[in-house]
Amino acid sequence: MVKPLVIVAKGDDPYNTTKMALKRFPLPDLKGKRILIKPNAARLASPGEGITTHPSVVSATIDCLRENGAKDIVIGEGCIFGVDARDAFRMTGMEEISEKKNVKLIDMDRFGPAERAIPNGKLLKKVKVSSMLKDFDWIVSIPVMKTHMHTRVSLSIKNMKGLLWRREKAKLHHLRSNKKITRGYKELDFGIAEMAAVLMPDLAVIDGTVGMEGMGPAYGKPKKMGIVLVSDSPVSADAVASRLMGFAPEEIPYLQLSAEKGLGEIQLQNISVEPQDYLKWEDPFDLPPSKFSIPFPDVVVYDEGSCSACLSTLLLFLQKYHQQLDDYRLADKKVHIGIGKYLDSCPEGTILIGNCTSNIKNRGIFIKGCPPISSEIMRTLVLIKERG
């Protein structure tokens, strides 16, 4: 059996390193293919912060695909809730690349939904994706090499979640467990592996030029690696990237589940990696802290089963509005905030953020949304206060 091939390249310049990796990979003839490049450009972040894909990695990918016959290339992304795609595309540098390279840039969420049935789906029977996807027959996933507070790592498979349609992205966080089905795995990990069955990219180009460690996907520390990986076996690319980050691929639940489903190989001895001594570049990433800590000593957070969207919203909200929360302190002079789908108790007067907390909304100030955006949280708090 032919082993999947993963190329690893290392260098100081994101453009040259990506080109080096892609040149070493036997790309197919791409003449006539309609190609979607899916970077991670879903958040308001600048190149080099380790949050979004470096535009030079996208730029080099476009050039290499063109050298292999590609004419019809589009960059597409669906941003996280509350982020305006135009702002994100400008800030991440994707707008500039699209202009320079004369490549269309599209907000995938601007179009309607299309359903995809998941073969043998146990937790997910179907998912809604952007209807634009039908216009492409070759997809390149270009994620950033990151740790993730809920899934340990976020790489090329997980990056495809951005192609789910609008709020469908949050659906994977709502999945309720049936232990017989999930066998102790988190529903999110199980859902990602099932999603991958219908959203598998044709090529993975993993941007490890500057990754993120710790509290990824958005609040960790940038980690300079200078690495780019390329493979047409995305599960194997993610496995090798995980290993370079210091994790055994089998320790990454959604990779283990994807391999069990036959979506790709994660056993390193069954993957052909070039160069063979690639582990000389291993540089372990700090894991996300097991308990989420908020850098505001006067804020108490009750988090039971929140997803990264709500956690990110909460951090943004506190960064922006922490100074305006004096009216919402409880008897201990602290602001109490609850998030997450398993939260079932909290002190009276807690600010409850997100639809997941609706079952205990009578205990505090409930802010609906999935997640609500930070300005909306503040607006609702002020409105409630004014109404007395």
Q: Which residues bind ligand SF4 (CB under 6 A)?
A: 170, 173-174, 306-307, 309-310, 339-341, 354-356, 370-371
Residue 346 CB-half CA count within 13 A: 30
Nearer to ligand SF4, 129 or 170 (CB): 170
Nearer to ligand SF4, 27 or 378 (CB): 378
d(CA 166, CA 81): 8
If you write DSSP's letter for every residue of 349-363 in order, what string do you get?
TEEEESGGGGGGGGG
Nearer to ligand SF4, 98 or 355 (CB): 355
The distance of closest approach from Cβ of residue 149 to ligand SF4 in the complex, given in angstroms and rounded to an integer, is 12
Unique residue bearing structure tokens 């930070």: 374
Nearer to ligand SF4, 194 or 265 (CB): 194
Say if residues 88 and 106 touch (Cβ distance below 8 Å).
Answer: no
Q: Give, in order, the Cα–Cα distances in Å from 360 to each of 26, 325, 352, 355.
A: 55, 21, 8, 10
The distance of closest approach from Cβ of residue 39 to ligand SF4 in the complex, given in angstroms and rounded to an integer, is 23
Q: Locate all alpha helices (DSSP H) within 216-321, ordered by sequence.
A: 234-244, 253-260, 308-321
- Chain-centroid distance of CA 45 in Å reads 14
If you write DSSP's letter for every residue of 318-382 in order, what string do you get?
HHHHGGG-GGGB-TTS-EEEEESTT-----TTEEEESGGGGGGGGGEEEE-SSSPPHHHHHHHHH
d(CA 343, CA 47): 36
Q: Which residue is nearest to ligand SF4 (CB)?
A: 354
d(CA 325, CA 290): 27
The distance of closest approach from Cβ of residue 358 to ligand SF4 in the complex, given in angstroms and rounded to an integer, is 9
The distance of closest approach from Cβ of residue 97 to ligand SF4 in the complex, given in angstroms and rounded to an integer, is 30
The distance of closest approach from Cβ of residue 342 to ligand SF4 in the complex, given in angstroms and rounded to an integer, is 10
The distance of closest approach from Cβ of residue 148 to ligand SF4 in the complex, given in angstroms and rounded to an integer, is 14
**Strand-strand pairing, 203-213 and 138-142:** parallel
The distance of closest approach from Cβ of residue 308 to ligand SF4 in the complex, given in angstroms and rounded to an integer, is 8
Supply φ then ψ for residue 5, to 5 degrees: -105, 130
Nearer to ligand SF4, 178 or 359 (CB): 359
d(CA 310, CA 340): 8
Nearer to ligand SF4, 182 or 306 (CB): 306
Nearer to ligand SF4, 23 or 174 (CB): 174
Say if residues 33 and 300 touch (Cβ distance below 8 Å).
Answer: no
The distance of closest approach from Cβ of residue 310 to ligand SF4 in the complex, given in angstroms and rounded to an integer, is 3
d(CA 158, CA 164): 11
The distance of closest approach from Cβ of residue 135 to ligand SF4 in the complex, given in angstroms and rounded to an integer, is 29
